[in-house]
């Protein structure tokens, strides 16, 4: 099934953040390469003048389509009220057969990334078009299988983080041993 069959896709909202306000203006730089928010964000845009259709809702999937760092992230209501910048497509599921987190996982998968990057336009700043995103075929297992996939992915990310932490501690230990040997 293609993504356009299960979603609506719109571009983000163009605005110039004012530094104060009641909305967060989400930009690619606010996320890491895994689509996780980097830190608590401060509202920097006024709601006034922002069409309601651009206000993010629980479960909206943000897809960073511009540049070399293409990723998907799920907007969660516990975050501050927000709008996505124009570097994102906002993908809203139209039914309940797909979990937003599963859609984001799929868009972040190596398979989907390879297909989209092969069809990117532009040379200095590559961009994934809305059409490419809409026509991407997504396998849709049942909801229980989607949850299992997400659990496995979460465990894998946790494992990678632990390995990095172990490596950093090991490096610190080796450096301390060398330093002690010099003394």
d(CA 150, CA 36): 15
Q: Please report the pLDDT score of residue 60 as a whole number.
A: 94
| 9-37 pLDDT per residue, tens | 999 999 888 877 888 898 888 887 777 88
Whole-structure pTM value: 0.86
Percent of the chain, pLDDT > 90?
58
Ordered by start, the domain boundaries in the chain are: 3-139, 141-183
Q: Please report the pLDDT score of residue 72 as a whole number.
A: 94
Residues 163/155, Cβ–Cβ less than 8 Å: no
d(CA 176, CA 174): 5
Q: Please report the pLDDT score of residue 171 as a whole number.
A: 96
Mapped onto helix, strand or coil, the DSSP state of residue 159 is helix
Q: Please report the pLDDT score of residue 52 as a whole number.
A: 87
CA atoms within 13 A on the CB side of 89: 25
For 113, 124, 144, the CA distances from 35, given in Å and listed in that order, are 14, 23, 23
d(CA 144, CA 150): 10
| 53-77 pLDDT per residue, tens | 999 999 999 999 988 888 999 988 7
| Rg of the chain, C-alpha, whole Å | 19
| 80-119 pLDDT per residue, tens | 788 999 999 999 999 899 999 999 999 999 999 999 989 8
Which fold would CATH assign to domain 3-139? Adenine-n6-DNA-methyltransferase TaqI; Chain A, domain 2 (3.90.220)
CA atoms within 13 A on the CB side of 173: 6
């Amino acid at each position: 099934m293609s993504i356009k069959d299960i979603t609506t896709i719109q571009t983000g909202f163009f605005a110039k953040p004012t530094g104060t306000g009641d909305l967060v203006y989400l930009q690619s730089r606010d996320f890491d390469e895994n689509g996780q928010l980097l830190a608590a964000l401060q509202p920097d845009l006024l709601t006034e003048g922002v069409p309601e259709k651009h206000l993010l809702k629980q479960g909206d999937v943000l897809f960073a389509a511009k540049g070399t760092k293409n990723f998907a992230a799920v907007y969660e209501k516990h975050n501050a009220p927000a709008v996505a910048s124009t570097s994102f497509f906002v993908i809203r599921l139209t039914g309940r057969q797909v979990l937003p987190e599963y859609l984001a996982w799929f868009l972040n998968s190596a398979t989907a990334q390879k297909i989209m990057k092969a069809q990117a336009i532009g040379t200095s700043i590559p961009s994934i078009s809305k059409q490419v995103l809409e026509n991407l075929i997504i396998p849709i297992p049942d909801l229980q299988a989607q949850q299992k996939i997400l659990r496995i992915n979460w465990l894998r990310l946790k494992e990678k983080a632990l390995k990095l932490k172990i490596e950093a501690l090991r490096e610190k230990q080796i450096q301390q041993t060398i330093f002690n040997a010099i003394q």
